[in-house]
Amino acid sequence: MRRHAFRAMGTEISVLLDDETTAAAGDRAIGAVADIFAAEEQRCSRFRPDSELSMVNASAGSTITVSAPLADLLRFSLRQAAESAGLFDPTVLGAVVAAGYDRDFDEVIAGARDRLHPPVACGRWGEVELQGRELRLPRGVGVDLGGVAKGWTVDLAAVAAVAEGVRWVVVNAGGDLRVAGDAPPVEVAIDDPAERGSSIARLSVAAGAVATSSTARRAWGPGAHHLIDPRTGAPSDTGIVQASVWAPTCALAEIAAKRALLGGRLGSDPAVVVTGGGDVVTNVESAEAAA
């Protein structure tokens, strides 16, 4: 099995490939994954002033033309916002910044940042206008595609890697992962939010994607973390501290994990959640029971 890792989007990206693939195909696949992450980070990062997303946010109040890939991602995000009745909200940028996450996370930690401002109201996703590639954000509204952009990029990268001739691939961006191609069951250990380095459960994933949302990660103080509850505009406090969800694609898994965590309950998607009291709740069938 071939393994390759690099950093992008503020996290570690790991690529697992089958070992029957030729070295040349493996190299091409890894190159394609790295290129896609570089391109999507440049498109979707809110920390790069020259990213396309930064230009979109700076143009709030006027209509601009965006690239086709960003239009696709925005359309997907707005549709998910509607389907979740706003529990997933791509317009939480103001609230995330107010909560203290106003720069690359390494710098947030270095600055031991506290909350910057009182909670900011969210829920203006319904006012975003997107027709084809023509986009208009309401004045004062910013888009944050953090997690969903990562999941979206994982999907693009996994599909591209298989197209380069590898039999199967696992692309994992800081815990948001996609299994693509003719893969054997992949063993996925779910981290314990209370204890780094140990796991609460292991999943066997034959296809599709798993994503995890956790209040224990990208946290910079008690009750200060990056998962904003759009209903309050403040970091979530729903009784669930971590949610790992399976879905056919990584972008969908990412949204489903956020919905489970912010909704404070296990939904219909296969999931493993950890409550604030430390209980592990799951609706995923055991491999033993299924045998």
Partner 1 sequence: MTDASARRTRLSKGRVRAVAWVAGGATFLTGIGILGAAPKPASSSAPARESRSRRPVVVHRVLRRVIVTEPAAGAPVRVIPASVGSGGPAGGASSAAPAPAPAPQTTTGGS
Residues that bind partner 1 (CB under 8 A): 1, 10-11, 14, 16, 150, 170, 172-177, 183-191, 193, 199-208, 210-214, 216-218, 242, 244, 246, 266, 268-272, 278-290
CB of 255 to partner 1, least distance (A): 14
The residue (of 63 and 283) whose beta carbon lies closer to partner 1 is: 283
Determine the Cα–Cα distance for residues 51 and 58; give it in Å rounded to an integer.
Answer: 11
With a CB cutoff of 8 Å and minimum separation 6, the contacts of 170 are 14, 15, 16, 158, 177, 178, 179, 180, 183, 186
| C-beta closer to partner 1: residue 89 or 176 | 176
Q: How far is CA 134 from CA 61, 64, 71, 72, in A?
A: 13, 6, 8, 12
CB of 150 to partner 1, least distance (A): 7
Residue 171: CB minimum distance to partner 1, A: 10
Smallest separation (angstroms) from partner 1 to the CB of 116: 22
- As a whole number of Å, the end-to-end CA separation of the chain is 27
Q: Of the two residues 139 and 196, which places its CB atom closer to partner 1 in the complex?
A: 196
Q: Which residues are CB-neighbours of 259 under 8 A, at least 6 positions away? A: 84, 87, 88, 267
Give least dist CB 132 to partner 1, A.
Answer: 32
Identify which of residues 162 and 211 has a Cβ nearer to partner 1 in the complex. 211
C-beta separation of 180 from 158 below 8 A: yes
Task: Please state, in angstroms and rounded to a whole number, the distance separating the CA atoms of residues 151 and 257.
Answer: 11
Helix (H, G, I), strand (E, B) or coil at 110: helix
- Residue with smaller CB distance to partner 1, 50 or 187: 187
Q: Which residues contact 143 (CB under 8 A, 6 or more apart)?
A: 46, 53, 56, 57, 74, 77, 90, 91, 93, 128, 137
The residue among 129 and 182 lying less far from partner 1, judged by its C-beta, is: 182
**Smallest gap from residue 79 Cβ to partner 1 (A):** 22
